[in-house]
Structure formats: structure tokens, C-alpha cells
Structure 1
Amino acid sequence: MKKLFGTDGIRGIANREPMTADIAFHIGRAGAYLFKDKVNPKILIGRDTRISGDMLEAALIAGICSMGVNVLRAGIIPTPVVAYLTRIYNANCGIVISASHNPFDHNGIKYIRGDGFKFTDSEEEEIERIYFENHSKDEWPIGKNIGRIKELSQAEEK
């Protein structure tokens, strides 16, 4: 049974559990752990305009890059565009930082598969398992093996 993920990702009041920068960092690492052994692994990230989006995006990106996975940063774009760009850029997965219709002080993290569809319950459970069992604790790439960030400045035009 899932502990962090609900029906549409992880949601909550920003800067309170489970929407803290620390949890976002480790959820980023746990998600990246799934793809770290792929050739040229990359995760695309997009977000909405909520104030907390900067904090959560920075934490997720740090976690992903610290696992040796690259990030395609799409900036402020709608959720369906993240799904579309995840496919177009052949990313291993996408992440949306948004709480859609929830109050402004809330935010959320939703994983999207490489085919543009939302992660299944079992895939979210796998991220949680890695997170709670701390499987990524000893994985700290160095040098050229640290993940890089690529800004997708034209993402909204694709």
C-alpha cells in the first residue's frame, strides 16, 4: 500500500511533510535510481506557477543529478505538455510539480512514464520502496558521472 503517493502523485502543503525540499530531494533520487543504469538517462521536469515550485523543482533536480541522471528542465508548462515532451525528448520519465485545483499553498509531485502516461500504482510503490528502504543511500556518483541539467527554453513551442 502506498504511503506517499495518492491518486494523483504526492500532494500536500508546501514545506510541510510530505512536500518538503528534503523529501523532494530523496524522491528525486529514488525515481532516478530506476533509470541510473540506462544509457544516457534523463528525466524531464515541468511545473506550474506556484511559489513553492522553485523550491521543490530545485530539490528534485538536485536529487536526480546526485544519482547521475540528467534533467531536462522545461520550466512552467501545463501537465499535458510535460507528458508530450517526455515522449518527444525520449526521456525515461517526466515529473510534474503541480497541485492543479488545490489551494495555492499546496503543491504536488507526479511521475509520468516515458510513454507519456502517469506511473502505475506499482511503479509509484517501487519509488516508495526505494525511498523508504533507502536503496540509493550509497550511490553518489562523482566527476563526469554526476547528472547535468539542460534548459528547454523552447519547450512551450514544441
Structure 2
Amino acid sequence: MAEHQRIFGTDGVRGVANADLTPELAFRVGRAAAVVLAHEVEAGRPIVVGRDTRVSGPMLEAALVAGICSAGRGVVLLGVLPTPAVALIARLVGAAAGAMISASHNPIADNGIKLFGADGFKLSDALEAEIESDIAADSGPRPT
């Protein structure tokens, strides 16, 4: 397997909003996550998306959702709520995954994207690496 740039840190993708974590990157994370999860979870199960109150949240949410939808996966927007709620809701409603847009305790200029599996737990390192590889290859399907 070819080397790829690390995008995921210990707790998702993080950085200064609109500098390190751009809408373009959020789109690519959303698309790649939807493509990779298509191998793990049957079609028809949406990805639930929540966010915190940071000013960059709506921008990143729109880009992430556009990426997910561009790969043919549905989305349920949960609005503003705490990170554990997204994980729990993903599990309880049988979602394909959950995504939380938040940088937790980090400075207000930062933001992040944390992904949860259908079980409500953080994605495995292997799945995160697969998502990173898909982002690097930029070869995911684009349904028409």
C-alpha cells in the first residue's frame, strides 16, 4: 500500500477552521468516509451529523454533508448537541455512522471532525487509514 498523508489524529481530523481544516477537506473526508463505509454497512443507512456552537460549524457541516451525499449516502442532521449524543444516536437509530463537528476543549478558531461507527464507537485506526487512502487517491465513485 502506498504511503499517504496522515489526516486523522488521535481524535479525528482537527485544525484551524478554514486554514488547516478547510471546506474542501471536510468534503473529501465526508465523501471518503461514505465510500469506505459502503464496504462495511449496507446501503440505505444514513450517516448522522452533529456539531457544536463554533462559528465555523455550519460551514464545515455543509461541506461534510455534501461529500457524504456525493457518494450516494444519506444524511440526518442532528443540529447542535454534545459529542456523546452523536455516538449514542448513531447506535440507537441504526445509522451507518456518526460524525461530530467539534474541537472540544481546543481554541475557538479550531474545529474538527470525529467519526463514529454504527456501534457508536470511534472508528478503528484501520478504517481511518482506509479513509485517508481514499482521500489521497481521490478515486471514489460519483453516482449520477
- TM-score of the pair, normalised by structure 2: 0.92
Check whether the contact 2:51–2:79 (CA below 8 A) recurs between aligned residues: yes
Cα distance in 1 for partners of 2:37, 2:131 equals 11
Q: CA deviation at 1:2?
A: 6.3
Distance change (3 Å), C-alpha of 1:120 and 1:2: farther
Residue in structure 2 matched with residue 33 of structure 1 by the alignment: 35
| Percent pairwise identity | 48
Q: Is the 8 A contact 1:43 1:70 kept in 2?
A: yes
Asked if residue 9 in structure 1 is aligned to residue 12 in structure 2, the reply is yes
Instruction: Say whether 1:70 aligns with 2:74.
Output: yes
Distance in structure 2 (CA, Å) of the matches to 1:90 and 1:2? 31
Gaps of 5+ in 1: 143-158
- Counterpart for residue 90 of structure 1: 94
1: distance between equivalents of 2:66 and 2:138? 17
Q: How big is the alpha-carbon RMSD for the aligned residues of Structure 1 and Structure 2?
A: 1.3
- Residue aligning to 1:24: 26
Q: Size of the alignment, in residue pairs?
A: 139
Could you tell me which of 112, 119, 133 is aligned with 2:116? 112
For the 8 Å contact 2:12–2:112, the answer to whether it is kept is: yes
